[in-house]
Amino acid sequence: MKVGVVFGVSELADPSAFEKKASDFLTALAREFEIMGGVFVSKKADFKGIKEEVDFNEADVLLIYPLTGGTENGLKEFAVYRKPVVIYGDPFNNSIAAGIELREYFRERLLPAVLVNSMEELKAALLGYEDMMEIFEKFLRVRLGLIGRVSPWLINERFELPYVHISLKKFYEYYGGVTEEEGWKAVEDVVSRAKEIREPDRKELTKAGKVYVALKRIVEDYKLDGFTIGCFDLIGKINTTPCLALAMFNAEGIPAACEGELNSLLGMVIARRFFNKPAFMGNIADYGEDYVILAHCTAPLIGRYILRTHFESGTGVGVAVELPKGRASLLKIRGRKAVVAGVEVVGIEKSEQRCRTQLKLRIEEAGDFIDGTIGNHHLLIYADSEELADLLSELGFEVMLY
Q: 228-244: per-residue pLDDT in tens?
A: 999 999 999 999 999 99
Which of 114, 140, 166 finishes a domain?
A: 140
Which of 99, 114, 140 finishes a domain?
A: 140
Residues 106 and 173 both lie in one domain: no
- Number of independent structural domains in the chain: 2
Average pLDDT over residues 91-110: 97
Q: Measured between alpha carbons, how far is 47 from 53 in angstroms, rounded to an integer?
A: 10
Residues 108 and 222 both lie in one domain: no
Residue type, 142: V
Residues 283 and 334 both lie in one domain: yes
Residues 13 and 79 both lie in one domain: yes
Residues 191 and 246 both lie in one domain: yes
Residues 183 and 324 both lie in one domain: yes
Which of 109, 140, 171 finishes a domain?
A: 140
Q: Could you give the percent of the chain with pLDDT greater than 90? A: 98
* Confidence at 373, pLDDT banded by 50, 70, 90: very high
Residue 117: predicted pLDDT: 97
pTM beyond 0.85, yes or no: yes
Residue 100: predicted pLDDT: 98
Residues 88 and 155 both lie in one domain: no
Residue 11: predicted pLDDT: 94
Residue 28: predicted pLDDT: 96
Residues 208 and 232 both lie in one domain: yes
Q: Measured between alpha carbons, how far is 370 from 286 in angstroms, rounded to an integer?
A: 10
Cβ neighbours, 10 Å, residue 247 = 30
Domain enclosing residue 312, as ranges:
144-401
Residues 119 and 155 both lie in one domain: no
Average pLDDT over residues 348-363: 97
Per-residue pLDDT tens over the stretch 21-52: 999 999 999 999 999 999 999 999 999 999 99
**H/E stretch holding 226:** strand 226-229
Residues 135 and 153 both lie in one domain: no
